[in-house]
Amino acid sequence: MKKERNVQKPINRSSLRIYVGKKYFRFKRYWHWYARRNKFATTRNENALLPHIISEHKTPLIRQLKEVDMWLQHNKVKNLHIASKRLNRIIIKPGETFSYWRFIGNTTKRKGYVDGMILFYGKVITGIGGGLCQLSNLIYWMTLHSPLTVTERYRHSYDVFPDSQRSQPFGSGATCAYNYLDLQIENQTNQTYQLVIYLTDTHLVGEWRADLPETRAYEVYEKEHWITQEYWGGYSRHNTIFRKVFNMDNELICDEFITENHAIMMYEPLLTSGNS
């Protein structure tokens, strides 16, 4: 039987409350970066790639989304070009932590960023630098297929679009908002890793590379998935994500819990009798 999960009713916050909250949490993040500045990765190798691909993934740049203008998709590609250059070929040495926003920085017009799609409290709005969640989603998914450790990740609180040609489990991404919703990845191994990010004409492409070959294989999968009707009338979607780890002889080493997701659905689910 599926476990029930009560999801809090959406709260309509005032513009002042949102503004003050952002300022507060951004200050906390700046202080965190300063206090732990010696722990963060800072090196980039522009001239050479580490020899071994540990994990790789690609996602299409343009997707037709219901009621979303295509110009937002094309602007997203412009933003991805700028941000990807900031992250490409970063080196993460043993003991160091990669911070998504520490490298990218604030997404401003001065840096060339343009209006793109932003998901804001379950609604689609436009904002400078919009669309970069595709980049954080890609890096998070690749990291789950590597020995690197995700130490900070935020799930999407709202499920805005129905599944359409989904190839990954629901909730297998990482939302981002400068700078307080960060994606941080720690290298707890004894070898060096390198993040490679680039765009083709059709796809956003990423790789984790290392100085030594991989000795493990990974399978990330959804173990449970269910929908509940909440007391306040809306619907919520839930699941759990696990990961199987295999050695090079394809023998199962472990089957470990990764995360659980709970999101308010912004569309009417197609429920059959008996589902909850």
| 61-115 tens-digit pLDDT | 988 776 678 898 999 999 999 999 999 999 999 999 999 999 999 999 999 999 9
- Report how far Cα 175 is from the mean position of its chain's Cα atoms: 5
- Per-residue pLDDT of 134-163, as tens digits, reads 999 999 999 999 999 999 999 888 887 777
Range 185-205 average pLDDT: 97
Percent of the chain residues past pLDDT 70, beyond the cut: 92
CA gap 160, 267 in Å, rounded: 7
Residue 234 CB partners (closer than 8 Å, separation 6+): 9, 10, 264, 265
Q: Determine contact, residues 105/122, Cβ cutoff 8 Å.
A: no
Distance CA 100, CA 206 (A): 14
Whole-number Å distance between alpha carbons of 251 and 246: 5
pLDDT tens for each residue of 200-252: 999 999 999 999 999 999 999 999 999 998 888 889 999 999 999 999 999 99
φ/ψ region of 34 (left if φ > 0, alpha if ψ in -120 to 50, else beta) reads: alpha
Residue 53 CB contacts under 8 Å (≥ 6 apart), including other chains: 207, 208, 209
Chain-wide mean pLDDT for the chain?
90
Per-residue pLDDT tens digits for 21-30: 889 999 999 9
- 268 in helix, strand or coil? coil
